[in-house]
Structure 1
Amino acid sequence: MESRKLQTRLMGSDFELIATGDNDAEITERLEQGVSEIQRIEAMLSVFNEQSVTSKLNARAGNLPVEVPAEVYELVKRCQHISNMSQGAFDISSGTLKQLFNFKYDHLAWPDQEAVDTALKNTGYRHILLQDNNHIRLEQPGMQIGFGAVGKGYAADRVKALWIAGGAKSGVINASGDLTAWGTQPDGSPWIVGIAHPDDTSRMLFWLPVKNASVATSGNYEQYVERDGIRYSHNIDPRTGWPVPFIKSVTVISRSAELSDALATAVTVMGVQAGIHFINQLPDAHCIVVDDKNNIFQSANIHINAKVD
């Protein structure tokens, strides 16, 4: 068995695909198939594409329902399930809130409470109505949904499924830290994923062997704002409308990249105690949290020897 790595920019993120196969032609075909699948999902879900399913749903918010592809309907259905389980800590309908904050620029104008309250009226997963025959209606005018918290994980899972259906016995899809891996490296050793140090992404805080599992990390490494001495994450609490403080990074390990992606966001919003309690209730899910004081917390069934220094 041979392997080859492809690095490319898709969905606004750096993707790394590691395909395995019996020969170079087979590996090349898998890599090309993987890129095409990610491009297909990006075209379908991107809020920056006016023809995407997401854009069409947002354009019809407060109006008649929109018929969507079955896979989008099922994706939204799974997102709604996690929203219910997390009591709204995870919510794909927080697009209007996110427009109030732009963490990519140095000078962030902090919105007032009135602006946040107005955006909150257009937020809430309960306003996403799943109707018969793959129809979805956004109940509130001005609602904006987005798949930024699960889209890359979903793409990674889809590529994995395609590769396995084609006979691939192992591989890795890494979407800027939202990673899924199965099987082993060609030499029989496990795939290894590094979790970045929350204060210096050039350093690794710890390494994890990954076999038939998915890992996602949500952190305020680059997109954040400091206000009155407090660093706020780019993650918005959809229940309050404000950015999340006191958490530097959350890493979740579960059965799928999509699930790990969503759960990492939920735990970040919930905070250390509630977040770890939440993960402890879920079978086959584990998490590691680094707070703003560089303390490391772990869920019940994972034991990583690491410290932040």
Structure 2
Amino acid sequence: MIGSDLTRSDSICSDPIGSELQRYEFSQPRMGVLFRITLYAAGEAAANEAAQAAFKRIADLDATLTNYNAESELLRMCRSSGPGRPIAVGNDLMHVLSHAQSLSRETDGAFDVSIGPIAKLWRKARRRKELPDSERLTLERKRVGWQFIQLNECRRTVELARSDMLLDLGGIAKGFAADEALNVLKQHGIARAMVDGSGDIALGEPPPGRTAWKIGIAPLAAVGGKPSRFLLLANCAVATSGDAFQHVEVDGTRYSHIIDPKTGLGLTTSSSVTVVAPDCMSADSLASAVSVLGPKRGVRFVEQQRDKKTAVLVMTVATGKAKLVESKTFGLIRQQRANQPSD
């Protein structure tokens, strides 16, 4: 079981194809969070083999996309590239960067993976419970700008057109990893599965005898509170971006870990953004982008997308008052009180 936590439900379910499926749960820490896999398989051996392969795929992506390991492909590229120095990269890194750049263009930079230098300053600020030095922040902002990431997808190269740029894929990598893990499970014959990367959730076919997975949305005001809203979903993804656990309060102002790339400052309105999308990389990155755009602009942006399968719910708290804003598509899939037991 490669060090994974495994639990098996007592119940045995009959699948439409005639085989008996049991529920298995696995977890491993990856990408700085706990990844959980819930799947239905005909036996323990099949479940273990599929989960092991899925976690290996996540581990490989972690080694490629992380900015916490100096030897990751991402950070090696950042060190090696610069103006006039395109660097060849692997398929995974190119795929994630291509998606990120498309979203940056569409949101006019509300989503920007070049935010690395500023994100690094704010991580230190949260630990020290103080604001970043203003002069240092101004200096580091000169190293930021999605338009300076130049991709050549034919040659599979990346050129960072400003010196000393530092990319941070924290707002997109976990979603991609969840998608890839779910694909690996499918390749092993496991169709009924869910991969949860600490709120970035990729969903396959629903549990046996059910029409969907039941996903709870936690209330914004109560950290660790029980979900009060539920979604019934299958064969799609859902991701939530919020600052309930990562923020710093300085002189009475609450600064989120989510940074506006244009100002270099942490957001000061407490919010939680939940996005439902066809894939988890899209849901993950859109949740970050909508957080920066704000409720009205964010919902309008999602509603203008050609893909009508994407939906968003924004919960904010300002001056002690909670407010909900949702896209029209979210209203179609929302379920306030689900009768189906949690999965």
TM-score, normalised relative to structure 1 = 0.94
Q: Give the unaligned 5+ runs of structure 2.
A: 1-20, 337-343
Secondary structure in 1 aligned to 2:329? coil
Offset of 1:108 from its aligned partner? 2.5
Matches within 5 A, 1:142-181: 142-181=164-203
Residues 100-145 of structure 1: CA deviation (Å, up to 9, x unaligned): 2127845323124432221121001111011241111111112100
Counterpart-to-counterpart distance in 1, 2:177 and 2:335: 31
1:234-293 deviation digits (Å, cap 9, x = unpaired): 101111111112142100000011100000000000111111111111222111111123
The CA deviation string for residues 155-200 of structure 1, in whole angstroms up to 9 with x for no partner, is 0000111222332221000000000112111233521111122232
Q: 1:205 to 1:234 in 2, by over 3 A?
A: farther
Per the alignment, residue 298 of structure 1 pairs with 326
1:276 match: 299
**Aligned-residue offset at 1:9:** 1.2
Q: In the alignment, which residue of structure 2 is the partner of 1:234?
A: 257
Matched length: 307
How much identity, in percent, do the aligned residues show?
Answer: 27
The DSSP-based 3-state class of the residue aligned with 1:197 is coil
- Does 213-222 or 287-296 show the bigger shift? 287-296
Task: Indicate whether 1:67 and 2:88 are aligned.
Answer: yes
The residue type paired with residue 272 of structure 1 is P
Match of 2:61 in 1: 41
Match for 1:297: what amino acid? Answer: V
Alignment partner, residue 260 of structure 1: 283
State how far apart, in whole Å, the 2-side matches of 1:106 and 1:123 are.
Answer: 23
CA distance in 1, matches of 2:207, 2:47: 14
Alpha-carbon distance between aligned partners in 2 of 1:106 and 1:49, rounded to the nearest angstrom: 20
Structure with higher Rg: it is: 2
**TM-score for the superposition, normalised by structure 2:** 0.85
Q: Is the 8 A contact 2:37 2:195 kept in 1?
A: yes
2:96 and 2:310 mapped to 1: Cα distance? 19
Deviations 1:24-64 (A, max 9, x none): 21111111111111111101111122221111122124252
Does the CA contact (< 8 Å) of 2:126 and 2:248 recur in 1? no
Long gaps (5+) in structure 1 = none
Matched, 1:187 2:209: yes
For 2:176 and 2:168, locate their aligned partners in 1 and report how far apart those are by CA, in whole Å.
13
Paired AA for residue 280 in structure 1? E
RMSD: 1.9
Q: Post-superposition, which runs of at least 4 consecutive aligned residues in structure 1 deviate over 4 A?
A: 103-106
CA distance 1:247–1:275, change in 2 (3 Å): farther
Whole-angstrom distance in 1 between the partners of 2:215 and 2:124: 27
Contact 1:234/1:244 (8 A) holds in 2: yes
Q: Secondary structure at the match of 2:109?
A: coil
Which secondary structure does the structure 1 equivalent of 2:227 belong to? strand
Equivalence for 1:79: 100
* Alignment of 1:214 onto 2:237: yes
